[in-house]
């Protein structure tokens, strides 16, 4: 079941994100504190930049956030960054696809027409998911992240409802 995230979901959201940090699937390298996560949650009003969670048997197993892209720059007000994370025990079960499909279906209601996903270039599963949903590569920043002495680039994938 996909629904809007609630305050009570923040521990699960943070636990799933911490898994991604340990897997080096995000550019953060240390866990996010709960006060920081709570501020992040507050900065995502449900009617504009929602956070969705996916539950399996009442357990939050994945989440997706829609975040303002370059907040405050009004020419970009219809563009948003989209990010998602899935509990490692629920990977490769179609949950990310369900979340992404749900988010894209909400774009017009949120008055958004452009989604941008910023992905580490070695995250081939996420790149494949973006392509599956019609995202195309819009940019590449080579070697901007470093994990244990190894450099990794960021790729930018974009989707527009205008097409």
What is the structure's pLDDT at 163?
Answer: 56
Q: What are phi and psi of 24, to 5 degrees?
A: 55, 40
Which residue range is the domain that position 49 belongs to? 2-160
What is the structure's pLDDT at 100?
Answer: 97
Q: What is the pLDDT of residues 90-140, one digit of tens each?
A: 999 999 999 999 999 999 999 999 999 999 999 999 999 999 999 999 999
What is the structure's pLDDT at 145?
Answer: 97
DSSP the chain: -EEE--GGGHHHHHHHHHHHHHTT-SS--SPPPHHHHHHHHHTS-TTTS-EEEEEETTEEEEEEEEEESSTT-GGGTTEEEEEEEE-GGGTTSSHHHHHHHHHHHHTTTTT--EEEEEEETT-HHHHHHHHHTT-EEEEEEEEEEEETTEEEEEEEEEEETT-
User: How many structural domains does the chain have?
Assistant: 1
CATH number at 15 reads: 3.40.630.30
Q: What is the pLDDT of residues 44-70, one digit of tens each?
A: 999 999 999 999 999 999 999 999 999
Average pLDDT estimate for 14-32? 96
Whole-model pTM: value is 0.95
């Amino acid at each position: 079941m996909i629904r809007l995230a609630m305050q009570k979901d923040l521990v699960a959201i943070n636990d799933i994100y911490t898994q991604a940090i340990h897997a080096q699937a995000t550019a953060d390298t240390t866990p996010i504190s709960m006060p920081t996560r709570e501020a992040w949650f507050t900065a995502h009003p449900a009617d504009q930049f929602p956070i969705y969670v996916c539950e399996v048997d009442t357990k939050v197993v994945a989440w997706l956030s829609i975040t303002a892209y370059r907040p405050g720059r009004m020419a970009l007000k219809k563009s948003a960054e989209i990010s998602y994370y899935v509990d490692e025990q629920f990977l490769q079960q179609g949950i990310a696809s369900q979340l992404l499909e749900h988010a894209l279906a909400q774009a017009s209601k949120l008055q958004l027409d452009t989604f941008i996903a910023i992905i580490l270039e070695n995250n081939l599963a996420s790149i494949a998911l973006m392509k599956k949903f019609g995202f195309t590569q819009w940019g590449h920043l080579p070697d901007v992240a470093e994990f244990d002495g190894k450099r990794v680039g960021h790729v930018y994938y974009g989707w527009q409802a205008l097409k």
